[in-house]
Structure 1
């Protein structure tokens, strides 16, 4: 099968030439477009507007072509359709030629016209439709071919939509659209290649990552994939220009090195978090604040630690004769039973709720009632 794919790829290369990426001007996000008008896409055709999810409950793969300052997102363009049309018209033309060759040469060569047209379009163009998110300026550029045909707006004027598409069956895709457009167009309704979102909550996760990336008051989301990319960029000092025009991509060695570093950090945080759940440091606000402050890639481990430890603490409260956890006798020295019960229930309500959302089939003592 791989040899067949190689042969087909070689034939495609002969017909339409090599694929090309026409990168945007990285200065496009410095200033917003002055002359604009409101978008005019009807509401009923926009699908579901995506709102950022309250918490990072899921960890999905996403395209991370970013240097921590600018994030480049590929959009669906006419380039691939030109390539497909060129190949299809050439194959159809060959069949047509053999059928009508003996009838009339002019008719036999008719499909050659669209085949040559799409071949020219495929060879002369490239991937030229991008969206550039700039964390530094807070602007977003909808880039199309050149600066003249591009639009730059503040991030607050960009919406995300999740709609049904039909691609070998019913699926869903993300679309980004600014609320303003250039005067000579109705709207910029662009399908983006940012991440797979088969469910609405997955779309919420992806949009939350991008929303937090653009918020300078918050750290860049430390989620898997993005954290690995930024580790790679910081290690080598790469910029967005190096990642695109320089074709620099994260290697397996860099990824594994980043993964080892994140595991070490997670282990240290988990150990510290475990100590906070012991009697000497058993403070509700401190524990919750610490959990929310750690990198996202470490929260799953800390959540498992909290669920396992609190389940032991809660069992005593559910017993016929309630008692404090015998594994930590210091509880009796530092707290009354009512103080212990209040803190355990507060932590259990908080962490069990999150744990249950992530692990709906997990069975434990639920304090939500």
Structure 2
């Protein structure tokens, strides 16, 4: 097996063996704390232009199948594991992870100390990285790393969105119609809505407010996706138009960040982000704590206490991460004359992934809350 090197933009170097496709790749180095669900991680468009380091040491034992894909391809820019499985051990597997990475041209590295690399990223923050099985000189690779693009300031949703609109029909009797803006949507997300009798019209990231109105939706959904929310303007203007139309809104991940910016809040880049399927979050509207799946490097800068008046209603923080108090959800309500009785819910969003692919099912209730929002019962 060919030798490979990994070089971070601060010069830290690791040596290992090529895993997946041989060659060279660049991206932002981030770590994922999930012990399972690597296939869903690899095919999540939110990981576009990121090199994912798996903190779990043993990866690949369940192989790859055609049922667990969250999109049509692998999106990660590179893949870093410590101890790749030598054989596939799942009856559902159709091929090995190594073969899949190689087929799709994803450059990876194995056999390195991923714990040391993760600790380095925790201390220094997410940074650019290069992996190469063709370059033997770390200094030469470092030059190319420093010349590569940064995540901050990058608008990427248009690179991962669908090129044409499509419809996911409701399961059983149709109850509602939802316009879903694809900013990097995962396959399971419209499926979760369809399970609840929602006909989902998935629209490209370039869709206009008129495109949304043409669907005749009962609600608007913004998906997860990659990139810097501060570099996005079009989708924010579209969302503000929808809020002015009083269209019920639900957003996840990138959709939470854009909701925050549409309401007048800022966003900022986290030191190393939240990525994995074991992040504790409190739903402050119920007081319940849920274990959730995350994949975000940016967060909303909003006050944790009280409400903020916006042109569209009263905004507040509905969810918060129990590890670091990062905003994990927002709520928009109609203003009322009484502080003790909040107004009706107009829109909400969360920073994590409630579709449970891969991940726990603790947050599935959010899709029910969206149904209640469109019903006008919350």
Structure 1 length as normaliser, TM-score?
0.22
Q: Which has the higher contact order (CA 8 A, sep 6+)?
A: 1
Higher helix residue share? 1
Higher strand residue share? 2
Structure 2 length as normaliser, TM-score?
0.22
Structure whose CA Rg is larger? 1
